[in-house]
Structures are given as structure tokens and as C-alpha cells.
Structure 1
Amino acid sequence: MAANFKDALKLRRTYYALSNKSLIGDQEIEDIISHVLLHTPSPFNSQSTRIVLLLGENHKKLWQITKDALKKIVPAESFAATESKIEGAFASGYGSVLFFEDQSVVKGLQDAFPSYADNFPVWSQHTSGMHQLGVWTLLEEAGFGASLQHYNPLIDQAVQEEWNLPSSWKLIAEMPFGVPVQKPGEKEFKPLTDRFKVYK
């Protein structure tokens, strides 16, 4: 973790061309995710985020599940392009991080604080987003490239069954990662004057 936070945020990009290589040990990957889970804020310190790390054959299984699900809904003439994207940008990586929010925790907060009941599902999404950014940034700092995918709810049931996950865990996003084999494209920035207001 040599880069400072500003540099780390700047360097975090979306990478689609990934190899199944790693520059660090699997335990270090686990340590990154554990660090993010321990130190990322959540509403009322609810700690509702759940993460599953898939490596090796489990990583490949995720993307096979995704292909199988997509094959049922993508027109046959278009499926080759879909399959190529999954194989070349996601399944080709070293692993995948799955982000969940435990709905039993959210429901518990709604019951305990009814005046905020409508807010807790929204706040749950906020903490998930912070966890996603934290993991993404630290993985990139460790030499990985990653992207954020959303094949939920299409794959939710199959994922839950394959890894025997609690029914209260709601899948939010999937993050395939690996050592990048291509640089990301140029990033365009909209003017800050349209996005940022300061009043003194």
C-alpha cells in the first residue's frame, strides 16, 4: 500500500482484458478484503455487507453460471459476442469478488428504527458502494485490474445454491480481477464547474 489515497483513487480504472495471474499471494488478497470489511463505514455501524471471494475453479464456475443464464435470454445470433466478452474480460481473470447486502440486517434496522425504515435499503446500497470502491482501489494498488459487473438478479439463485449462501444475502455486484494485459481507455472528464459548487 505504497500509494497515497489521492493517487490510489486516480489510478483506479476499469480493466477488461485480464490474465489469470496474481502478483501477490491468495492470503494477501484475503487480507485486503478483510481490511475493507473491517474499516468501511455502514449505517448505524450495521456492518451489513457480505463478501464472497472466488478463486480458481470457483471463479470459473461463476462465469459459467453467468453464461448459462445469459444463453437463455440472449438471441442465438448475438450470443457469440456475449460469450466472447465473458470469456475475455471476466472469466479470464484470477478471481472474482461478490458483494452482498444482508437483508436480515437491513430489516432489523427497519424494525428497530421505524422512522428511518425507508432509508435503510438506500443506506445499505451506500455502504455496498463504499466497500466496492475500497476493494477495487486496494486490488489495483496490489497490481490487479478489475471491473464492476451487475448480472444480478439473473444469477442470484444459482449463485446462492452453488455456494450455499444464506437466503438473506442479496447480490449487489460482481468484480472480476486479474493482472491486466491491456491499458484502460482514456477517461473523459466532464467540467468540474458543472459538478462542484463552493459557497464561502
Structure 2
Amino acid sequence: MRPRVLTSTLLSASRLYTTATSSATCRATHALIPSNLVKTCAPLTTRTFSTSSTRSNTPSTPSTPITMAASSATLLEAFKARRSFYQLNKELPIPKEKVTSIVQENLIQIPSSFNSQSNRVLVLYGAEHDKLWDITSEVLKPLVPAESWDATAARNAGFKAGAGTVLFFIDTTVVSGMQEKFALYKDRFPTWAEHSTAMLQFAAWTTLEAEGLGANLQHYNPLIDERVAAEWNIPAHWQLTAQLVFGGKAGEAGPKDALPLEQTFKVAGA
């Protein structure tokens, strides 16, 4: 049986489910969230937001009160909770097997253009994770100015302090095969593959943090590509795109700024 991805997209479940109902929304919610965590359930959750015209540490949100299904509100809470945690340790709040299952389920469920399924993943734990960041330091040291090395080394040590890393790849043979099969869209398939790997990275990051882990996303490709391929027998046609470092939270996430919606959002026809 495939594991449920959103076992803990529940950061705010106790706030969202407060009254009993037998609606379809309630039944759908129970299908997503274990029954032992949801005692009663409200079909709709109303949340009021305010919009500021100035930049702030709080992301801009709609000024008009909105009503959404409880399951949608829970997803949005999980999206908001996803942050960059750089202070990590090796104490995972859930078993490694559960981490693996969550990443696997995300890999299965994330969409790709024409269902091409171009995403590939390698998960490293323990000594293998440590080895990745030792390799990264070895690759970077000749390239980084001497006066900047201490800061770079400290940053890499912070990644190594985590419990594991998810490495994301694109299978370029899938992309080239789609280009041959659908010549009209030849120029678009590389971009669409990037879209899919980005969605996978976001989904894995969000669901792991919903389980209580901390994580941050890094991009040391292509500098480390050859060493990674040699060390873990990665096929030459797997193109490394990102590295998601995860572990127990040893500190808090930093502030997050967001531009006001007036600068970033438009709507027509409403």
C-alpha cells in the first residue's frame, strides 16, 4: 500500500476541525488525515486576512475574507509552515523509513508534462549524507577565495550536521524521447521537466516539514555532478538539479519577506 503523503499536513488540524458534520468535505478530510487526530470536523473554515501596501516579514494575503474547505486550508497552512531551516541535527522526529516513503509517494504523485515521469531521486542518510557534504567541500575549496573559505566551510558543516539529503535529478533520456515524439513542443520539454522537478522539490520539502523535520534546499550542481555520479553510481543521463538537506530542528527559521500583492498579482474577469 502506498503511504499517505499528507499524514501531517495537520499542523493546524486542531484549529480547523471543531464541529461535527457528516458532509462530503468532512469525509474527504478524514480520508487525508488519520481519524485519531481528527475527532470532529467542520466542512468549511473561514479565515480573514489583511493586505499591507508595504513590505513586511509577513507574506501578503488577500484583504477580502475567504471561505475554503478545511482540507484546502490545511494545505495552505502546510505551505506557509515550509521554511528554510539551516540549523539542523541528526535527530529525526520520525523513522527513516517514513521519510523514505514520503519522498517516494511525492515522486509518484507529482505531475509531469505528458506524464513523461522524468523525475529521479536519491536519498542519502547517515554516513552517506556526510560523505556528500565532504565531497562538496573538497570540490569547492579550490574554487573559493581563501578569505571566503571559512564562511563556506561553516555553511557546509551546517549541511553535514543534518540527518540526510534528498538529491533530485531529471532523466534527460526521457526529455529527449519526448522531444522526438512531439517535435512541435521540442523546445519546451526541458523547461517542462524543470517545472516538474521544482514541484517535486517543493512537495517533498513541505511534507517533510509537516512531519516536524527542518530542511533547506541547495543547488551545488553542476559543480558536484561528476563526483556524485561516481560515488553513487548515478547514470550519466540523470541530471542533478537540487539537494534538499533535512534533519531535526536545532534552531528557528529566519524572517521571510514578501512583496505586497499590489506589486505581484493581477486578476481579470472577476
- TM-score, reference length from structure 1: 0.97
Q: Report the Cα distance in structure 1 between the residues aligned to 2:255 and 2:107, rounded to whole angstroms.
A: 31
| Off by >3 Å, runs of 4+ in structure 1 | none
Tell me the residue number matched to 2:84: 14
Which residue in the other structure is 1:82 paired with? Answer: 152
Cα deviation digits, residues 88-134 of structure 1 (max 9, x gap): 2x110000000000000000000101110000000000000000000
Distance 1:26 1:181 in 2: 18
Question: What is the aligned partner in structure 2 of residue 114 from structure 1?
Answer: 183
Per-residue deviation at 1:193?
A: 1.4
Aligned residue among 144, 164, 168 for 1:99: 168
Aligned residue among 142, 145, 148 for 2:211: 142
Q: Give the total of aligned pairs.
A: 199
Offset at residue 167 of structure 1 (A): 0.4
Deviation at 1:76, TM superposition (A): 2.0
CA deviation string 1:18-56 (max 9, x = no partner) = 011101111101110111011110000011000000001
Q: Which moved more, 1:12-21 or 1:185-194?
A: 185-194
- Cα deviation per residue 1:52-98 (whole Å; 9 max; x = unaligned)? 0000110000000100000110122221111011102x110000000
Quick one: distance in 2 between partners of 1:81 and 1:195? Answer: 34
Percent identical among aligned pairs is 45
Distance (whole Å) between structure 1 residues aligned to residue 231 and residue 254 of structure 2: 35
Q: Which moved more, 1:109-118 or 1:76-85?
A: 76-85
Larger Rg belongs to: 2
TM alignment of 1:1-200, pairs within 5 A: 1-2=7-8, 3=10, 4-88=74-158, 90-199=159-268, 200=270
User: RMSD between aligned alpha carbons?
Assistant: 0.8
Secondary structure at the aligned position of 2:218 is classed as: coil
Offset at residue 166 of structure 1 (A): 0.5
Give unmatched runs, 5+ long, in structure 2: 1-6, 11-73
Give the distance between the partners of 2:225 and 2:131, measured in 1 at CA.
14
TM-score, reference length from structure 2:
0.73
Query: Which structure would you say has the larger RCO, counting Cα contacts within 8 Å and 6 or more residues apart?
Result: 1
Q: Which has the higher helix share?
A: 1
